[in-house]
Amino acid sequence: MFKLEQRPQFSRVWTYAAPLLALAVTVVIGVLLFILLDKDPVKGLQAFFWEPIKSTYALSELAMKATPLLLIALGLAVCFRSNIWNIGAEGQFVIGAVAAGGVALLADRNTGAWIIPAILLAGMLGGMAWGGIVALLRDRFNANEILVSLMLVYIATLVLGYLVYGPWKDPAGYNFPQSKLFERVTQIPRLIAGSRVNIGVFLALAGSVLLWVFLFRTRAGFALQVGGLAPAAARYAGFSSRRALWTALLISGATAGLAGALEVAGPIGQLTPYVPAGYGFAAIIVAFVGRLHPVGMIFSAILMSMFYIGGELAQSRLGLPKALSGVFQGLLLFSLLACDTLIAYRVRWVGRAKQGGY
């Protein structure tokens, strides 16, 4: 029989190997799932792991999906390292999209290129304002940030719905709940002609570098992490928990809002009820699979975007439900949680248990 034995100290090897093992477990379970659904597992795995990378266009779509996931995960990593559980990045993403869309709707054919920085700034400020509500309620009334941030997601969705069904509804849109198409000048510059990938990729990569510098090369980043790991030690060192709360939630809101601005002024090009795409929730998985480290989150964002694209391909080519991508995301998260046991425990073979007390 096997027995879990606590390690004298955490395993550094399994800290980085656990995500790889979790991915392998997810693939194995995925194969079994395809077989149970009477689908060819080889074609299923190709849809998830080969089709998204087989061509230049496929890679551009992969980068487009990975960009908002990475941006949101970067902000969430700051919160989670500070022991602040912001679960409502989806709401901050939506409000960022609304704020950016409001600025984009002000543009006309004579508007200059300055509108693009204004759109991105509006998205960041919108996300920061929504994250600031969570910080305010936690700071002043000690409200639980998990519940508050999660409930604000639904409020953000209702705000978006009110606008696209009401004041911002396109009068020439055949009664569809959507704003008018944004002017061409508001479109985020694309990197490759004929593809949808835009400069958001560079912003996400630059954000990864800035986060690494902030977390590991600045006093403020060090204070945030100490406050998350050892609150008593942080207070003894004079680090302000209140400042950490506001800093983490405002940074997280800004990155989620920026992702929302890039989405509506990029591939979507207008405000619709379908702006909430689940990126804010999927980014939680991205953050933890990437070990809350900027480099790790780049690779986990790519993996998660492969699941998004693979789910769409499996739906159109294999006739599988659209929810399959969510199933793979959930499998990856639960597999990671299980494999993380190996960081603190080792598996030992202790032989067959004796009968009768001998």
Domain count, the chain: 1
Number of helices (H), then strands (E), belonging to the chain: the values are 14, 2
Q: Which of 80-89, 115-124, 305-314 is predicted with the least confidence, judged by mean pLDDT?
A: 305-314
Whether residue 353 is predicted with pLDDT greater than 80 in this model: the reply is no
Cα distance between residue 314 and residue 331, in whole Å: 17
Q: Does residue 335 fall inside a structural domain?
A: no
**Please, what's the b/e burial string for 10-22 (b: 16 or more CB within 10 A of its CB; e: otherwise)?**
eeeebeeebbebb
pLDDT in tens, 121-172: 999 999 999 999 999 999 999 999 999 999 999 999 999 999 999 999 999 8
Cβ neighbours of 125 (radius 10 Å): 21
What is the reported pTM? 0.93
4 pLDDT band, cuts 50/70/90, is confident
Whether residue 322 is predicted with pLDDT greater than 90 in this model: the reply is no
Q: Does residue 15 fall inside a structural domain?
A: no
Q: Does residue 128 fall inside a structural domain?
A: yes
pLDDT in tens, 158-186: 999 999 999 999 998 888 999 999 999 99
Q: Does residue 353 fall inside a structural domain?
A: no
Whether residue 355 is predicted with pLDDT greater than 80 in this model: the reply is no
Q: Which residue has tokens 């969430």?
A: 76
Residue 305: φ, ψ to 5°: -70, -30
Q: What is the mean pLDDT of residues 250-255?
A: 97
Q: Does residue 160 fall inside a structural domain?
A: yes
Q: At what angle do helices 294-318 and 324-339 cross, to 10 degrees?
A: 140
Whether residue 358 is predicted with pLDDT greater than 50 in this model: the reply is no
Top pLDDT among 348 and 178 is at 178
Q: Does residue 130 fall inside a structural domain?
A: yes
Task: Residue 250: give the domain boundaries.
Answer: 66-297
Whether residue 86 is predicted with pLDDT greater than 90 in this model: the reply is yes
Q: Does residue 206 fall inside a structural domain?
A: yes
Q: Does residue 162 fall inside a structural domain?
A: yes
